[in-house]
Amino acid sequence: RMEDWLRNMGDWCISRKRFWGLPLPFYKCGCGELTVVGSRSELAERAAGRLPELPELHRPWIDEVRIRCPKCSATVERIPEVGDCWLDAGIIPFSTLKYLEDPPYWREWFPAHMVCEMREQVRLWFYSLLFMSVTLEGKAPYETVLTYESVVDEEGARFSKTKGNAVWFDVAVEKIGADVMRWMYAAQPITSNLRFGEGPAQEVARKLLTFWNVYAFFVTYASLDRPDLSRPVDPHAAGLLDRWILARTDLLVRAARGRLDDYDTPAFVREAERFFDDLSNWYVRRSRRRFWKSGGDDAAAAYSTLYEVLLVTVRLLAPVVPFLAEHIWTNLTRARPGLPESVHLADYPAPDGAWRDDRLVADMATAQRLAALGLAARNEAGIKVRRPLSRMLARVEDSAERAACERLTSVVADEVNVKGIKFEDDLSGFLSYEVKPDFKALGPRLGSAVKEVAAALKSADSGALGPRVERGETIEVDTVSGPVRLAPPELVLKRGYRPGFAGAADRTLAVVLDTRIDHALLLEGLAREVVRLVQNMRKEAGFAVSDRIHAAWKAEGEVALAIQNHRDFIARETLSLALEPADEPRGDRVERFDLDGQPVTIAVRRT
């Protein structure tokens, strides 16, 4: 756009017939001589008489000054026009940074690293800046120019007071929050209009809440356990998940520096949001039980690791969400005296070679993909993650990815809640196929004989035909009228899984879950459901996360057997000092539930 403007620009009329504005220092004499005054000292030198004391060199005061014509010595007035506002804006690099008074100081700041305005400024401010700088210094006044589109309402309409859809800044800050607004702007691709309103803001706030909830989780448990956070974490002594999140944080640091150095805030926001998800839904969720332990080396390592990650992350986020970052930093740094008082006084994070482990990050990303497929298969089968399954079979085509998944088997198995994972080269034995004719494709060729083909396919061995059709082979079936050859485009292939199995696949990974649940798995799943019920009761009763409780229950059949067989597990997960059967459970909160069609009554009481 700028190149097109420069190639086709016309003359610029720099004067305006207005009162307010930059007084043009042009003095035109009746003899035809035009004098242009270039400084205050030159004005004093040329003045017709003593230069009066002027509050400032603007109208009306400047109009009192007359000069002597250097050609005929006549007294000359300044022309009445003022400069175009963009003329004034174009000299900002010179008028505000002591260009005339202190040239060495001025050169420290010229050219600007970046200027940012909407794209209409290509023919206005960007052009006037460029025009003045090239005229005075022979070079551009900026190294980088960033333009953006418009801010519109949630429906895509321009804001208008007459339409009634205008949003005032003070109201928006109160309802949405300054940092949410900043994140929204930073995330927006500069080539598209930004749809602004409470609806889009809620989605942005949800993403920031993911990170906030990790911070809140840390503060909650650290306030109870009082871990020693005075020393930086040692990545070489850390466990697998700790090493991974440190390496993942270092990757974010490198990405943040690269993206922000390129002024690419949308890319930085995307990287940060992916990191929030990894931190919350992988590291914290996989490490949650470590924080429940009081004391011990493993708990101490978890606290130190998460603390260090939070300190680095808030510094990375500070340029975009300064208020949120400052709040978190101020609270966290109480545990480590000597750190800067404000996050905005701290150095921006630099990559840490001791944290870097790109191989582990890549391996864990593959493991996460495998786990996601397992969870997708569970969802397809309608089986909750709390219900354990016996095994998951996995096919990983790439040898490096397979090695990564095998190293991280326990992490994936825990995430998917299966007892074991077996790696196979071929999972086709767990697939089922259904091959039908495509009536629209075969009708013109076979007419009414299509029904005979449908009957033949229904009676054929679909397990043998399906893989051939999938490979693109032409098959032949025997009908009442004789053999018929069928090409894949003439067939409809539906692939599924054998009864008792469910699966999912992506480009290089595939999984099959054994969804058959024996009695032991059933009881363990019921026990996990009981844990969920008690945890919800604790929350609704207003118990603190550290409160120990007494729990009583009344149930029959398999629910009762599940509680009895997994009593220690339920008590440990719910911080129950007692978990006893009762004819009439009593406590601070008593609720009756239906668990797999079986009634159960639970009472909880804070000890």
In whole angstroms, give the CA distance from residue 124 to residue 111: 19
- The pLDDT assigned to 488 comes to 92
Same domain, residue pair 119 and 217:
no
- The pLDDT assigned to 222 comes to 92
Same domain, residue pair 204 and 129:
no
CB 253 within 8 A of CB 349: yes
CB 238 within 8 A of CB 246: yes
Same domain, residue pair 142 and 283:
no
CATH number of the domain within which 210 lies: 1.10.730.10
In whole angstroms, give the CA distance from residue 454 to residue 262: 61
Domain boundary among 105, 126, 146: 146
Low-confidence ranges of the chain (pLDDT < 70): 293-295
CATH number of the domain within which 99 lies: 3.40.50.620
Q: Is residue 549 part of a domain?
A: yes
Q: Is residue 179 part of a domain?
A: no
Enter the DSSP assignment of 84: -
Give CA separation, 549 vs 217, 429, 534, in Å. Answer: 21, 49, 10
Backbone angles phi, psi at 126, to 5 degrees: -60, -40
Domain boundary among 131, 146, 161: 146
Q: Is the peptide bond before 52 cis (omega within 30 degrees of 0)?
A: no
Domain boundary among 356, 387, 405: 356
- How many other C-beta atoms can be found within 10 angstroms of the C-beta atom of residue 452? 18
What domain count does the chain have? 3
Q: Which residues pair with 486 in a beta bridge?
A: 475
Same domain, residue pair 205 and 341:
yes
Residues constituting the chain:
607
Same domain, residue pair 236 and 141:
no
Q: Is 3 exposed, middle or buried (0-12, 13-18, 19+ CB in 10 A)?
A: exposed
Q: Is residue 76 part of a domain?
A: yes
Q: Is residue 140 part of a domain?
A: yes
**Domain ranges, residue 534:** 519-606
In whole angstroms, give the CA distance from residue 274 to residue 282: 11
- The pLDDT assigned to 302 comes to 93
Angle at 418 between CA 412 and CA 420, to 5 degrees: 80
